[in-house]
Amino acid sequence: MQKSVRMEDIAKQLGVSTVTVSKALSGKDGVGDSLRAKIKALASEMGYVISPRMRDSKNKEPSDIGVLISYRFVSSKDSFYWQMYEKLVSRLQANDYYAILEILSTQDENAGILPRLLRRIGGLIVIGRLADGYLQHLKEFVTIPIIFLDSYDHTNYTNAVISNGYYGMYTMTNHLISMGHRDIVFVGSLEATSSISDRFFGFWRSMSEHNIPVDPRNCIRDREDDGLIRIKLPDVLPTAFACNCDNTAYVMIQALKERNIRVPEDVSVVGFDNCILSDYSEPTITTYAVDIDGMAFACVNSLIRKITTSYETDHIIVIDGKMIIKGSVAPPPRL
């Protein structure tokens, strides 16, 4: 992960004090025009982002950043998005910004009520997917910079930071196949989030490359509109389940245990995210670790550039993760 550029780094390059760099970047007196220009040019070249708190008092902008999450994604204290929010708070504070969280209720999302925090912020981070109608409403009435985290607006090209769900689930499915599994079912409601659909297509690619047919039987749902995870096991079990997230994998393992089916001796299960439940589970869940630090870093840097400069273009940033082998996968049982 790229290291943040500090004023000390700029000062060291030019052989001046940190105070001189601070004065030059904040527009304060005490620095000659020539040196000020050199400092600003080097800061730009090194990728240093000037915080609103350092700007000239005539150009002050809000230093609070809004974070918006739909209630259906944080109804559980073990939510992956709570971890993501904590990383955002730390990264924003490191850049002299502060987070204001608003959890969007289902009623407000359905009614199209704009976030109440908008009057206080200079930029907005949206974590997770919002309903299409609400998303359109947000774009029509919000003029401050917006960036999406762990989702993207499929109706409009915009700033977003996502994990590499496609490659990640491709990797997890390849692992199951390398262990001898061919009867594999993907678990996830494809329309619930863009990240789930991305993960399904990674699953589909791996299966296709190994000449394993994919049909409706190879996919079961794990949630409805309320976001709560509920799993109905198929009548005929596969030898492995590729779950779209660790929460779903955890619920899947509990459902299998209720039917006296052992994991991984009878059925293997993989998850995605490497959230805390993957270690609480018995057995622990083999998973794909999302780089939450890297996503928060990229998200905050991109949004600050959008707020403080005129040259930041809209783009989607994809952050890779890595597979973590734990205890929920074994070769399929012999018939």
Q: Residues 33-42: pLDDT tens digits?
A: 888 888 888 8
Tokens representing 242?
């590729």
The pLDDT of residue 3 is 54
In this prediction, residue 46 carries a pLDDT of 81
Mean of the per-residue pLDDT values of the chain: 86
Residue 59: predicted pLDDT: 46
CB within 8 Å of 217: residues ≥ 6 apart: 185, 234
Say what the pLDDT of residue 118 is: 86
What is d(CA 175, CA 198) in angstroms, rounded to the nearest whole number?
A: 18
Three-state DSSP string of the chain: CCCCCCHHHHHHHHCCCHHHHHHHHHCCCCCCHHHHHHHHHHHHHHCCCCCHHHCCHHHCCCCEEEEEEEHHHCCCCCCHHHHHHHHHHHHHHHCCCEEEEEEECHHHHHHCCCCHHHHHCCEEEEECCCCHHHHHHHHHHCCCCEEEECCCCCCCCCCEEEECHHHHHHHHHHHHHHCCCCCEEEECCCCCCHHHHHHHHHHHHHHHHCCCCCCHHHEECCECCCCCECCCCCCCCCCEEEECCHHHHHHHHHHHHHCCCCCCCCCEEECCECCCHHHHCCCCCEEEECCHHHHHHHHHHHHHHHHHCCCCCCCEEEECCEEECCCCCCCCCCC
Residue 69: what are its φ and ψ, rounded to 5°?
-135, 135
pLDDT at 136: 81
The predicted-structure confidence for 122-131, as pLDDT tens digits, reads as follows 899 999 888 8
Please give the Cα distance from 135 to 153 (Å, whole number): 8
Numbered ranges of CATH 1.10.260 in the chain? 7-48
pLDDT reported for residue 313:
75
Give me the CATH topology for the region 7-48.
Answer: 434 Repressor (Amino-terminal Domain) (1.10.260)
**CB of 63 closer than 8 Å to CB of 97:** yes
- Check whether 169 has a pLDDT greater than 80: yes
pLDDT band at 140 (very low <50, low <70, confident <90, very high): confident
Query: Sorting pLDDT into bands at 50, 70 and 90, what band is 77?
Result: low
Q: Is 13 exposed, middle or buried (0-12, 13-18, 19+ CB in 10 A)?
A: middle
Which CATH number among 3.40.50.720, 3.40.50.2300, 3.40.640.10, 3.20.20.80 corresponds to the domain 64-163+292-321? Answer: 3.40.50.2300
Q: What is the pLDDT of residue 53?
A: 47
Integer Cα distance of 324 and 273 in angstroms: 10
Q: How far apart are CA 278 and CA 269, in angstroms?
A: 11
Please say whether the beta carbons of 242 and 155 come within 8 A.
no
**pLDDT tier for residue 154 given thresholds of 50, 70 and 90:** low
Share of residues in the chain with pLDDT > 70 (%): 90
At residue 30, does pLDDT exceed 80?
no
CATH number of 165-289: 3.40.50.2300
Positive or negative: CA dihedral 152, 157, 160, 162: positive
Question: CA-CA distance, 217 to 249, in Å (whole number)?
Answer: 18
Does 208 or 27 have the greater pLDDT score? 208
**What was the pLDDT predicted at 269?**
98
**What pLDDT digit, counting tens, does each position of 52-68 carry?**
545 444 444 557 999 99
28 pLDDT higher than 60:
yes
Amino acid letter, residue 286 = T
**Cα distance between residue 108 and residue 91, in whole Å:** 28
Given pLDDT bands bounded at 50, 70 and 90, which one contains residue 2? very low
Taking the whole predicted model, whether its pTM rises above 0.75 is answered as no
Instruction: Name the more confident of 46 and 264.
Output: 264
User: In which residue ranges of the chain is CATH 3.40.50.2300 found?
Assistant: 64-163+292-321, 165-289
- Reply yes or no on whether the pLDDT at 108 is more than 70: yes
Does 280 or 74 have the greater pLDDT score? 280
Query: Residue range 194-206: average pLDDT?
Result: 93
Q: Which residue has the higher pLDDT, 160 or 56?
A: 160
Rounded CA separation 90/293 (Å): 10
Residue 196: both structure tokens together? 């789930």
Cβ-based neighbours of 156, under 8 Å, separated by 6 or more: 139
pLDDT digit string (tens) for 204-250?
A: 999 999 999 998 888 999 987 766 788 999 989 999 999 999 999 99
